[in-house]
Amino acid sequence: MNPTFRKTPLIGEPLDRVDGRLKVTGQAKYAAEFPRPNLAYGYIIQSTVARGEISTIDSSKAEAMPGVLAILTHENAPRLIDNGEEEHFTKPFVLQSAKIDHFGQRIGLVVAETFEQARDAAMQVTVNYHAAEPNVSFEKNLENTFKPEKLLIEELKPETRRGDFEKAFSESEICVDEIYVVPNQHNNPMEPHATIAEWDGDHLTLHDSSQHVNGAQKTMAGLFGLDLKNVHVISPFIGGGFGCKVPAWEHVTLAVMAAKRVGRPVKIVLSRQQMFPGVGYRPLTWQRMRIGAKRTGEITALGHEIRTPTDVAHEYIEHAGAATPMLYSAPNLLVPHLGVELNWPRGTIMRAPGNTPGLFALECALDELAYALDLDPIELRKRNEPPHDPQKNLPWSTRNLMECFRVGADKFDWSKRSKKAGAMREGRKLIGVGVASATFPALRMPSSARVRLTPDGRALVQLAATDIGTGTYTSQTQVAADTLGLAPERITVQIGDTDFPPTPGSGGSWGAASYGSGVLQACADVRRKLLALTHGDAHSPLKGLAENEIEFRAGRFVAKNDSACGESFTEILKRHSLTEGIEGHGRAKPGDEEEKFSMHTFGAQFAEVQVDADTGEVHVSRFLGVFASGRILNEKTASSQISGGIVMGIGMALSEASIVDERYGQFVNADLAGYHVAVNRDAPQIEVMFLEERDDKVNPLGVKGLGEVGLTGAAAAIANAIYHATGKRIRELPITPDKLL
């Protein structure tokens, strides 16, 4: 068979990452690695108070230091434009006034010939403040709440109700009423944020570590009053993001200002410490769960009150109650979100925002209810399984949560556990198992793409999209290969560039569904254009055949009634002298499915832990995740997404927390020595399984998202396993040894 073409579908195959070789050989270029001629370096100056005003800023000594090219402060920085657009939840205004509202606020930039010179000079800039008493203690301000006007996702109301919660709760036969706390957590991608800004007249080019190139383009165009077409953002490879690289932050604005000021390209790379106050984090959540139930386990009242800190501009409120209204049947429900304004930096989305902290509380509370009822926690969930979305009153596109639990329980030997907590022990090790549900919305955004087919039998696919490690290059290669009937080696996918057709960012787990729908359309468009060429073409064996009499197979059009009669697309292109090939365009957008169906990914998560009875150390010894996530484009990258989420869940359960110094409002453990992300040694062999799930409602590919859902139930499953092992219910993360002794 001609190796150009391919008959069997690639979608679903565990294709190796097409960009894998580039990455392991160091050829993949990350934002800071693009060589630019005459490059200058920026180093950020940060506030050392959390509230007040800069009274004086003296940079005279720094200015005279070797290599220093410019020092930007609020006194000399250009004015930025506020066009009032709401579209981007983070507006990276910087150096616009003397006002300080959090510790670590960006208050200046030194630009020099080298990074070291810039950093050295930055240390010599003297800043004096009129400092005010900052509001930096969440605990002390717990009662000082306000009702937010809106949450990040418009569809989610700050307060959700159904039925009469208070009445049902007071009348319930069994109740749980507990408080759960998830601390501040930082996204901490391996690659720090980095930007190179370069002006050419009024045209701006940015090499930026960005999950959303069209977003960064729009934000910077807005701030600097530029036409969109004059802002070019490039981000081909990204060393992780987890949400903190969706918005463009102040350092991007600073790089753009500085490049203009010195008339040279300027690079800013954040240090790990600088990432803590300046590129978002998942703000802590204080969550009061109240569940009222009948003795049968039927939940009658579900209350989930969230209090969460926010910056003075109230930019981000963690929507931890997002999944509570849809996950279980509860006829009476109350889910209010309350903000607590503090002099803290802005929070932002972090992997599975909302659901991750929310499901820690909800899924632990359900476990507590199961023990109170002496009921298997899986059986409890089964008894509260809603036949349709109980809040939206819409049918599910697909919901196979119970099947995930059934398959998982079987695989994990769930039935072999002791029914009682604290009853399984091997020497010093207390053994326990726990479960939790996982869920995340299956979202999709408008997304476009173009594809060029060339007579040498290759296809070039271009879309703005990004790959944050999720596998976009690979999955889109598979979508194009199948739609064009080409071998994957014949497909080149180019992404991470605003010169390509616009797409949403990699966020919200909508990448594969959104990008894939656009690529699918673009490839179908090429096929249609090619087919049209054959119709009136005397030299084509298919001449005169109508579209419905022809089918497409492995890069060939063939007559339906005679498979010997046909020709390949390369033959068509050559005969028509289309030496440049032919281009197809896709502009896919969701239809009205969101109004007709409730669309979510579901999963069941099973953890086994060993707790050292003497030291309180917890080791996760087994972990299984079973997911129903529609069609799986690539089994390998998909399970890698899920295991990554689970590893993050181990960190969340056992070690991750960003601690604020309650005197000054700074994060005190602002590096990877003080902030412990889970590493290989913390993770067991993680097993991931996908159910066969056909969802023809959710989008043309039948794909649901996978990037985030793996994290959502993981910490709760581990906390529940720790309870099962020890009989100790720890409701405040992370579960460090001191809490177990």
Q: Which residue's CB is nearer to ligand MOS, number 211 or number 639?
A: 211
For ligand MOS, which stretch binds (CB under 6 A), given 241-249, 659-667, 692-700, 722-730?
Answer: 241-249
From the CB of 527, what's the least distance to ligand MOS, in Å?
33
From the CB of 70, what's the least distance to ligand MOS, in Å?
34
For ligand MOS, which stretch binds (CB under 6 A), given 85-93, 290-298, 347-355, 626-634?
Answer: 347-355
From the CB of 316, what's the least distance to ligand MOS, in Å?
11
Q: Which residue's CB is nearer to ligand MOS, number 42 or number 353?
A: 353
Residue 25 to residue 649: CA distance in whole angstroms:
30
From the CB of 575, what's the least distance to ligand MOS, in Å?
47
Residue 473 to residue 467: CA distance in whole angstroms:
7
Neighbours of 701 (CB within 10 A): 23
Neighbours of 663 (CB within 10 A): 10
From the CB of 440, what's the least distance to ligand MOS, in Å?
10
From the CB of 493, what's the least distance to ligand MOS, in Å?
20
Q: Which residue's CB is nearer to ligand MOS, number 235 or number 400?
A: 235
CA nearest 235: which of 458, 459, 472? 472
Q: Is 241 a residue that touches ligand MOS (CB under 6 A)? A: yes
Q: Which residue's CB is nearer to ligand MOS, number 241 or number 684?
A: 241
Residue 708 a catalytic site member? yes
Binding mask 653-672 toward ligand MOS (x if CB under 6 A, else -) reads: --------------------
From the CB of 627, what's the least distance to ligand MOS, in Å?
17
Q: Which residue's CB is nearer to ligand MOS, number 369 or number 709?
A: 709
Q: Which residue's CB is nearer to ligand MOS, number 408 or number 603?
A: 603
Q: Could you give the residue ranges of the DSSP H alpha helices within 486-576?
A: 511-535, 569-575
Token pair of 37 as six digits: 């001629």
Binding mask 294-333 toward ligand MOS (x if CB under 6 A, else -) reads: ----------------------------------------
* Upper half-sphere CA count for residue 76 (Cβ side, 13 Å): 13
Q: Could you give the residue ranges of the DSSP H alpha helices within 158-296?
A: 165-170, 213-224, 250-262, 272-278
Binding mask 191-220 toward ligand MOS (x if CB under 6 A, else -) reads: --------------------x---------
Task: Check: CB of residue 319 under 8 Å from CB of residue 153.
Answer: yes
Q: Is 246 a residue that touches ligand MOS (CB under 6 A)? A: yes
Q: Is 351 a residue that touches ligand MOS (CB under 6 A)? A: yes
Among 5, 138, 242, 597, binds ligand MOS (CB under 6 A): 242
- Which residues in 432-451 contact ligand MOS (CB under 6 A)? none
- Which residues in 508-527 contact ligand MOS (CB under 6 A)? 508
For ligand MOS, which stretch binds (CB under 6 A), given 146-154, 235-243, 369-377, 720-728?
Answer: 235-243
In the set 608, 656, 687, 708, the catalytic residue is: 708
Task: Check: CB of residue 388 under 8 Å from CB of residue 396.
Answer: yes
What per-residue string of b and e applies to 361-387 under the rule 16 or more CB within 10 Å gives b? bbbbbbbbbbbbbebbbbebbebbebe
Q: Is 243 a residue that touches ligand MOS (CB under 6 A)? A: yes
Query: What residues contact residue 283 under an 8 Å CB cut-off, 6+ apart?
Result: 184, 308, 309, 310, 316, 318, 344, 347
339 burial via Cβ count (<10 Å: 0-12, 13-18, 19+):
buried
What per-residue string of b and e applies to 541-554 under the rule 16 or more CB within 10 Å gives b? bbeebeeeebebeb
CA nearest 194: which of 137, 266, 263? 266
From the CB of 238, what's the least distance to ligand MOS, in Å?
11
Among 176, 275, 349, 650, binds ligand MOS (CB under 6 A): 349
For ligand MOS, which stretch binds (CB under 6 A), given 35-43, 309-317, 343-351, 727-735?
Answer: 343-351
Q: Which residue's CB is nearer to ligand MOS, number 351 or number 631?
A: 351
Please tell me whether residue 374 adopts helix, strand or coil conformation.
Answer: coil
Residue 384 to residue 299: CA distance in whole angstroms:
7
> How many residues appear in the chain?
741
Amino acid at 662: E
Shortest Cβ contact with ligand MOS: which residue?
243
Residue 653 to residue 659: CA distance in whole angstroms:
16
Q: Which residue's CB is nearer to ligand MOS, number 72 or number 642?
A: 642
Q: Which strand ranges, in their side-by-side order, compose the sheet holding 126-131?
A: 99-100, 52-58, 126-131
- Which residues in 489-508 contact ligand MOS (CB under 6 A)? 507-508
User: What number of chain residues touch ligand MOS (CB under 6 A)?
Assistant: 11
Q: Is 283 a residue that touches ligand MOS (CB under 6 A)? A: no
Residue 228 to residue 499: CA distance in whole angstroms:
11
Q: Could you give the residue ranges of the DSSP H alpha helices within 30-71?
A: 60-63
From the CB of 708, what's the least distance to ligand MOS, in Å?
6
From the CB of 107, what's the least distance to ligand MOS, in Å?
28
Residue with tokens 């408008």: 446
Query: What residues contact residue 740 under an 8 Å CB cut-off, 6+ apart?
Result: 611, 616, 618, 722, 726, 728, 730
Please report the beta strands in 263-372, taking only residues with DSSP state E, as ranges in sequence order: 266-269, 285-293, 299-310, 332-341
Residue 659 to residue 701: CA distance in whole angstroms:
43
Q: Is 485 a residue that touches ligand MOS (CB under 6 A)? A: no
Token pair of 714 as six digits: 């993981």
Measured in whole angstroms, how far is the alpha carbon of residue 383 from the centre of its chain? 32
Among 350, 404, 654, 716, binds ligand MOS (CB under 6 A): 350
Neighbours of 670 (CB within 10 A): 20
Token pair of 557 as six digits: 């059009």
484 burial via Cβ count (<10 Å: 0-12, 13-18, 19+):
buried
From the CB of 302, what's the least distance to ligand MOS, in Å?
25
Q: Which residue's CB is nearer to ligand MOS, number 224 or number 510?
A: 510
For ligand MOS, which stretch binds (CB under 6 A), given 150-158, 273-281, 327-335, 344-352?
Answer: 344-352
Q: Is 186 a residue that touches ligand MOS (CB under 6 A)? A: no
From the CB of 57, what's the least distance to ligand MOS, in Å?
35
Q: Which residue's CB is nearer to ligand MOS, number 487 or number 652?
A: 652
From the CB of 508, what's the least distance to ligand MOS, in Å?
5
- Which residues in 365-384 contact ligand MOS (CB under 6 A)? none
CA distances to 52, 189, 623, 627, 629 from 537, rounded to whole Å, are: 76, 55, 60, 50, 45
Q: Which residue's CB is nearer to ligand MOS, number 458 or number 600?
A: 600
Cis ω before 734 (30° cut-off from 0):
yes
Q: Which residue's CB is nearer to ligand MOS, number 51 or number 212?
A: 212
Can you give the binding site for ligand MOS, defined by CB under 6 A? 211, 241-243, 246, 349-351, 353, 507-508
Active site residues: 708
